[in-house]
Amino acid sequence: MRENVHKDVYRFAYDEASTELRKILRSFEQLCAQKNRVEKLIEVLKPEVGLPEAADDGKLVKRTTHLPYCTVVTRLTVL
């Protein structure tokens, strides 16, 4: 009897955590898609606004993630 109570508590906690993680993942995917749309918009508007093109001197490292349309960019700085 006591084991069943513990199993129920653990199952409930697991289900709650899984639901929360799914919500976080959905939000993250939406943010990645929105980020990509904003980046594309910025690239299109650069000539209109007169912003100079960024010089690609190799200090940015791009990595893809397991999520579609989501790339992580890391800026390397030498101190």
Answer yes or no: is 69 within a domain.
no
In a domain, 7, yes or no: yes
pTM: 0.56
* Domain limits for position 23: 2-54
- Token couple for 53: 């093109």
H-helix or E-strand containing 24?
A: helix 2-49
Rounded to 5 degrees, what are φ and ψ at 71?
Answer: -120, 135
pLDDT tens digits for 3-38?
A: 777 889 999 999 999 999 999 999 999 999 999 899
What SS3 state is found at 43?
helix
Interval 30-58 mean pLDDT: 80
Query: Taking Cα atoms as reference points, which of 31, 11, 63 lies closest to residue 76?
Result: 63
Residue 20 falls inside a structural domain: yes
What phi and psi values does residue 64 have, to the nearest 5 degrees?
-85, 160
Count Cα atoms within 13 angstroms, Cβ side, for 61: 6
Give the count of domains, the chain: 1
